[in-house]
């Protein structure tokens, strides 16, 4: 047990972060809105809240996935200012909220028609590779409607798609990577509050994981990553937000180099963070 953890448990003194990246994220959260980023918002103490964030980053360092993430929105806090923060590198790729989503301690609620978040990054250029990338998220309260719903992504042409996560009217999760004619990879019923991660490894097929378990894979057609920024809560179709999802978005990330082992670790870390946040 580290010194910081001991202090966190006693609650007598302020928790001391072990992971520097976690501390940077915490400082960004408190700078954005200190009054909401406290343990009482989540039914815990602020020291334990800090420890939960620290543990998340420590696990990511230990298991090798943290360095693979280019952007991550843990949606901690209860306002747009805190939910916009990219925890990997606060200030870079911070989000912009469109259409006035509702923010609370669970995440941000989008209405399925007008609301989403611009991630302010460009898949084709911002650190992504056509041959190795990954993305994933956690959403709850989704009502499958008469249209397809996009958790996140963008599309520039028939062979330039990056709609990583998607729910069909039938309730299937799917990914659209480059060319969506081969992209439906699971018939598993979409269940809310499950960690969904899609990977396109450097070699081999794309894989979709639900709560850490592979639920399908498909071969990748040739193509490019879109030159349209990623939207979260909708897909960016040549500059227009379409197929808005409804529900509360709790977590989203993009990165690369996620092996099955790393996916399992990241999934568990995301779930443990939600438990610590009481949501």
List interacting residues with another protein (CB under 8 A).
80-81, 84, 94-102, 111, 113-116, 118, 145-148, 155-158, 160-161, 163, 168-169, 180, 235, 237-238, 241-244
154-191 b/e (C-beta count within 10 Å ≥ 16 → b): bbbeeebbbbbbbbeeeebbbbbbbbbeebbbbeeebe
Q: Which of these, 182, 200, 205, 180, lies nearest to 134 by C-alpha position? A: 200
For residue 77, the minimal CB distance to another protein (Å) is 13
Task: Name which of 13 and 238 has its Cβ closer to another protein.
Answer: 238
CA separation for the pair 271, 63 (Å, rounded): 16
For residue 125, the minimal CB distance to another protein (Å) is 18
Length of the chain: 279
Phi, psi of 215 (to 5 degrees): -115, 5
**C-alpha angle 130/71/241, rounded to 5°?**
75
Question: How many CA atoms lie within 13 Å of 109's alpha carbon, on the beta-carbon side?
Answer: 9
CA separation for the pair 205, 201 (Å, rounded): 7
Task: Name which of 163 and 248 has its Cβ closer to another protein.
Answer: 163
For residue 136, the minimal CB distance to another protein (Å) is 20
For residue 266, the minimal CB distance to another protein (Å) is 26
For residue 150, the minimal CB distance to another protein (Å) is 8
Task: Name which of 166 and 262 has its Cβ closer to another protein.
Answer: 166
Q: How far is CA 231 from CA 33, 49, 105, 237, in A?
A: 24, 28, 21, 9
Task: Name which of 31 and 158 has its Cβ closer to another protein.
Answer: 158
For residue 180, the minimal CB distance to another protein (Å) is 6
């Amino acid at each position: 047990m580290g010194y910081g953890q001991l202090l966190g448990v006693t609650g007598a003194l302020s928790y001391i972060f072990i992971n520097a990246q976690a501390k940077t994220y915490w400082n960004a959260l408190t700078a954005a809105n200190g009054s909401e980023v406290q343990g009482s918002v989540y039914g815990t103490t602020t020291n334990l809240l800090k420890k939960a964030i620290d543990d998340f980053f420590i696990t990511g360092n230990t298991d090798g996935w943290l360095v693979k993430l280019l952007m991550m929105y843990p949606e901690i806090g209860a306002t747009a200012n805190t939910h916009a923060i990219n925890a990997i590198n606060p200030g870079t790729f911070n989000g912009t909220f469109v259409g006035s989503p509702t923010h609370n301690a669970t995440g941000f609620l989008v209405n399925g028609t007008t609301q989403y978040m611009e991630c302010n990054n460009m898949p084709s250029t911002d650190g992504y590779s056509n041959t190795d990338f990954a993305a994933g998220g956690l959403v709850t309260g989704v009502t499958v409607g008469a249209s397809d719903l996009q958790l996140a992504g963008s599309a520039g042409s028939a062979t330039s798609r990056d709609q990583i996560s998607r729910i069909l009217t039938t309730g299937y999760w799917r990914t659209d990577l480059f060319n969506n004619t081969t992209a439906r990879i699971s018939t598993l019923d979409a269940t809310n509050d499950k960690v969904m991660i899609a990977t396109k490894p450097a070699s081999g097929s794309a894989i979709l994981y639900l709560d850490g378990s592979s639920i399908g894979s498909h071969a990748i057609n040739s193509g490019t990553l879109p030159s349209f920024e990623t939207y979260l809560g909708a897909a960016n179709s040549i500059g227009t937000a379409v197929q808005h999802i409804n529900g509360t978005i709790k977590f989203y990330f993009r990165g690369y180099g996620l092996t099955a082992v790393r996916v399992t670790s990241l999934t568990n870390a995301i779930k443990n963070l939600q438990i610590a946040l009481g949501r």
